[in-house]
A and B are shown apart, each in its own frame.
Chain A
Amino acid sequence: MSFDPTRAAIRFGNGLSPTVTPPVSVADMMARVTGPDVAAAAHPIPHFDDMYPTQWDFRLAGGAVADAQTDAEREAAEEARREMRAAAGDLWALNTMRQLARDVTTEDGFRERLVRFWADHFTAPPTNGQWRYQVYPTIEQRIRPYIAGPFRDMLRAAVTNPMLIQFLSQSGSMGPNSPFGVRRGRGLNENMAREVLELHTLGVGGRYTQDDVRQFAELLTGLTYSARRGFQYDARRAEPGAETVLGRSYGGGEATLDQVLAALDDLALHPDTAHHLARKLAVHFIAPDPDPDLVGAMAAAYLAEGGQLAALYQAMLQHEAAWATPARRVKRPYGFVAASLRALAVPPDELTGYSYGDVARGVFRPLTAMGQTIHQPPGPDGWPEEDEAWITPQGMAGRITWAMQMPERLLDRLPDPRDFVFTALGPTPPEAVLFAANAAETVPDGIGLVLASSAFQRR
């Protein structure tokens, strides 16, 4: 079996839509994913560096409350801070819905899936619920522009990402012999160094040792973030002297950010990284135990093209396994909700018009019930890949309940389930789903049964 439009839309995108034509070829998919970002232009999300309020704005607002001299001043300052918090909360909900609007309307579904994949690969959950609204602006700036370029560029953007630096406590890691470290009696924190090697580049099976972790941690000292100044490389925190990581020496003279970036560039081109990324993508998109030939072809193409992600994707899409493998992966809860909204063709301006409460009831809480509290994965390794982690009794209860109840609340008029089964599943739906869509007692039940079916939930 070779390229198939329905499989392309479902396996590599957000599923079928009654209003969007599926991709017509691998070349079409590649042209879109490497071309202009149409969905981002249609539903813009500000970059982290351009967003308001910032963490510093919150700091100032807190300072104004603390410094207030009179009751009237304090009340005014508290009111201003409350408004800022509410604005941040609204932004969190609005950006979630802007992203869903992209997922629902795009003709370039592979791009949205890749953004999700890489945002999860470099997951940087907020360290405090108050900073949730920064998640989408961070992805917009640090992940989305890089998904089809050299991996090196995304790795650089991710390792200097303020939210990742906060999440992995990197600002607290100082060279024990650096001016800051000596004066404050502080030292290393290995967290970020270990996760970059284990999760982001070489993989836990990669050829690195505890000594590599240690020396890489020394090299990373100097990467910091502060609310006021943003990301900074602070040479006064950097451990003096050269560090040897995977047999190569970095630095030695004056500590600079370039020495860190040079190590990241080398890590990006390491064969273990190529294999780790290839396998992870193949597992995510195709099968829990991907064909070793597929993984090998992807890794080889990546290395041959100097670490270009587009080469990695093209090798995947051109391999027969991408199309011949039956639908064995399970949509994660967010992907399930996005695909459902897309199949139902919920208008994008309605999605972006929802209040915070609507988004909480329709998206945030249901996703938590399905086991995926949005952008709060259980650890720095992101969300689990195993289907069994998602299709649990409690997770299914969440999916079934959403499928049965939400479509009716989202749309004034639901489609006829007998048509919807083809809209959602393509020209050859399984007999059992066809039967259920026809036999349902009510329209919402019929729609819900199609969405709750394993045929819809797998890709």
Chain B
Amino acid sequence: MDRRRFLLNAAAVGCSAAASPLITPVALAAAPWDTRLVVIILRGGVDGLDVIQPYGDPALAALRPNLPVGEAAGALDLDGFYSLHSGFSALKPMYDAGEFGAVHAVSTPYRGKRSHFDGQDILEAGLPGLGQGGLRDGWLNRMLQIIPGLEPEIAYAIGPEQLLVLTGEARAARWSPEAELRISANARALLNVVHHDDPLFRDASEDAIEIVEQIAAEAAAMEAAIEAGEPVDDGMMMGMAASQGGNRTTRSLAQFAASRLRRDTRIAAFSVNGWDSHARQSRQLDRRGSALAEVLITLKDGLGPVWDKTAVLCMTEFGRTARENGSQGTDHGTGGALFYAGGALRGGQVLGDWPGVGEGALYEGRDLLPTRDVRAYAAHAMRGLIGLDRAALEGVIFPGLEMGDAPRFVL
């Protein structure tokens, strides 16, 4: 990479507000734990049956004549029973290295109307149901609430859209890697006055200015290091460089996440959308699969040595119908799959209690039957990585959850 050009790109993120020569990279109070947790929300309802294909189940083929599975369909065999959709083939080396895996036949507690939006709310809220009066916090935020003294930068919600999973009373940092801020120093000071009595606007504006300053300061520090001939880590550089080509937007989310997680951030969340495959599903999974694979590979590359203490959980609001529909796709269903990655988890396996898709095995005669609450895996990951106790996990973070035995997936 051309380091000079990278620095120009990184500097373009900065702004005149950040021109102050006095700013240096801020050293935050370190979190009381050192592992990293990344939660990726896959919006639209991923067809777990077509990504992690139970091709060893003899009942599957009859349900899906136009959605072929297994090695005959170009999928990659994982363990003789499950195969990986060809769109995700870039993840096979990660699977073989024990850094990518999946859990099958899981779901949130959401049942019934199969609405994307209610389903996503329940997934991100981490609750057994929607209840009354609206949802105002997410399970990652409730986790931050029970650990006192954390800086907002400990947790980052990344991307242009709101992420309920990190929303709530505990402050978390939010930023979109493509955002830029241009404001004069004088106007910046006056903006503080203007927003003084409106906390929503005041906090968002102050955070924007702080984040932009910090990124600019990091870039300046790195430039100084290069000028001085000091070694600079390529992963750190990649996390800040503007990205081009391919799935640029999703990759830039992963790059930015890695750049934060390399420093003081311990938790990052973002979403990768576009999984609602009602028609011509195979083609859609080819595209979305390669985008998700790129995200995970970018995280691994960007995290460098930190990857070994990182767990990535990719979760979706529901699975899809076991039978294909009339347009070579699938409709909204219930049970699905969780994908996970990272050096802190035991990959190279497909976990879960397989319920089968044969006669009588389907939920309401149409969907994959969930055999375990997907929240149990997130809870065990947090317990293993962060050391949270069972009472907090079952009582506060995931109310109503019975975690059960630890799955063999935290190293």
Contacts and interface: CB of A to CB of B under 8 A. Distances in A.
A72 interface: no
B117 to A, nearest CB: 5
Contact of B193 (A397, A398, A436, A448): A436
B194 A452 contact: yes
Contact of B326 (A181, A198, A379, A445): A181
Interface stretch (A6-14, A167-175, A225-233): A167-175
A210 B113 contact: yes
A394 B179 contact: yes
Interface residues of A, number: 62
Nearest to B160: A371
Contacts of B112: 210
Interface string A180-195: 0100011111110010
Interface stretch (B32-40, B195-203, B294-302, B394-402): B195-203
Given A394-B176, A433-B194, A440 B187 contact: yes
A347 interface: no
Contacts of A61: none
A449 B162 contact: no
B327 A189 contact: yes
B195 A454 contact: yes
Interface stretch (A108-116, A148-156, A241-249, A382-390): A382-390
B155 to A, nearest CB: 14
A393 interface: yes
Interface in B21-78: 43-44, 65
Contact of B201 (A389, A391, A435, A442): A391
Contacts of A345: none
Interface stretch (B98-106, B205-213, B368-376): B205-213
Contact of B162 (A188, A204, A384): A384
A457 interface: yes
Interface in B177-192: 178-184, 186-187, 190-191
Query: Chain B's interface: helix, strand, loop or mixed, by majority?
Result: loop
Q: What range describes how many residues of B lie at the interface?
A: 35 or more
A432 interface: yes
Interface in A421-444: 430, 432-433, 435-436, 439-442
Interface in A295-345: 330
Contact of A436 (B191, B198, B278, B279): B191
A387 to B, nearest CB: 6
A172 B326 contact: yes
A369 B190 contact: no
Contacts of A190: 278, 325, 331-332
Interface stretch (A76-84, A353-361, A400-408): A400-408
Given A381-B117, A432-B197, A189 B279 contact: yes
Nearest to B190: A436
A250 B276 CA distance: 29
Nearest to A188: B326
A204 B194 contact: no
B282 interface: no
Contact of A379 (B65, B117, B181, B201): B117
B139 interface: no
B174 interface: yes
Nearest to B173: A393
B167 interface: yes
Interface in A204-232: 204, 208, 210
Contacts of A256: none
Given A169-B329, A369-B178, A452-B191, A395 B113 contact: no
A131 to B, nearest CB: 16
A453 interface: yes
A396 B204 contact: yes
A397 B15 CA distance: 11
Contacts of B186: 440-441, 445
Interface string B264-308: 000000000100101100000000000000000000000000000
A204 B118 contact: yes
B161 A187 contact: no
B183 A436 contact: no
B409 interface: no
Contact of A169 (B113, B162, B327, B332): B327
A391 B208 CA distance: 11
B364 interface: yes
A440 B186 CA distance: 7
Contacts of B194: 432-433, 436, 449, 452-455
A191 B278 contact: yes
A25 interface: no
A449 B326 contact: no
Given A176-B326, A445-B187, A448-B187, A204 B279 contact: no
B390 interface: no
A176 B196 CA distance: 61
A172 B116 CA distance: 20
B114 A187 contact: no
A455 B336 CA distance: 46
A262 B102 CA distance: 47
B332 A392 contact: no
Contacts of B198: 454, 458
A181 B113 CA distance: 26
B95 interface: no
B175 interface: yes
A393 B184 contact: no
Given A190-B332, A210-B364, A440-B190, A394 B201 contact: no
B175 to A, nearest CB: 5
Interface of A: 168-169, 172-174, 176, 181, 185-191, 194, 198, 204, 208, 210, 330, 368-369, 371, 378-381, 384, 386-389, 391-398, 400-401, 404-405, 430, 432-433, 435-436, 439-442, 445, 448-449, 452-455, 457-458
9 contacts: A173-B325, A185-B65, A187-B325, A188-B325, A194-B114, A369-B179, A381-B116, A389-B162, A454-B194
In order of increasing CB-CB distance, the 10 nearest A-B pairs are: A172-B327, A187-B326, A394-B176, A394-B179, A393-B207, A393-B208, A454-B201, A169-B279, A397-B181, A454-B198
